[in-house]
Structure 1
């Protein structure tokens, strides 16, 4: 049987530079993961907002809009977290979805009330800001690699 006990210094290991680089990337990766988690939470709130703000029966067209876009935002948050290198460009679409969420009460419905307007404006602004932060973090990570 082979002797697997540790002998010598770890700095002599052939993969030590790769392990150090991976450790450094892991330490730098905390902030984007927080942003992606917030994107997921904003998406989930957007999906349930017609019921929390109580316009699900009054404006079914806005209900469908918020439900579909909320689930899309949540799935994008999961995708960006799971594969940040491949989904970095997708972060920019969060900005477009955020702008749509801001203007959607006037485009989708005829006479939105104040609760619908404030709900979608806040969701849209937060989605836009988180999308910009995620996109810039992805660009910075791609430059470093």
Structure 2
């Protein structure tokens, strides 16, 4: 059962890694910690990583949906926080956000526990 649970939740494992990447990316790309660009990437990464880690323990529809929303924010944020002049940070946000959206949608589509929650109308 534990192995089945771990393989079923591989999307969350990848989202934890994506969250960690986004969280540390401002330092890797040498942004000042107080800059809006650094805050944007670190906050998006923290939310994605924490919710995905939480989902590894007990999956909730609301957590997956919120991660999809944060992933969408990460995709559009380069145009809103001014990273377009930095291709590395722009692509980092777009790729990480897109991957989060795809993984979240994949999880919503394939996880039987999420299907039960969705049908019952209970988001948790």
Fold conserved (TM > 0.5)? yes
2:29 corresponds to: 53
2:38 corresponds to: 63
Q: CA RMSD in A?
A: 2.5
1:7 corresponds to: none
Structure 1 residues 27 and 98: CA distance shift in structure 2, 3 A: same
How far apart, in 2, do the equivalents of 1:58 and 1:44 lie? 16
In our comparison, the structure showing a higher alpha carbon Rg is 1
TM-score by length of 2: 0.79
Report if aligned partners of 2:83, 2:90 keep a CA contact under 8 Å in 1: no
Structure 1 residues 51 and 27: CA distance shift in structure 2, 3 A: closer
1:40 corresponds to: 16
TM-score by length of 1: 0.69
- Which ranges of structure 2 fall in alignment gaps of 5 or more residues? 118-124
CA deviation after TM superposition for structure 1 residue 112, in Å: 3.1
Structure 1 residues 110 and 91: CA distance shift in structure 2, 3 A: closer
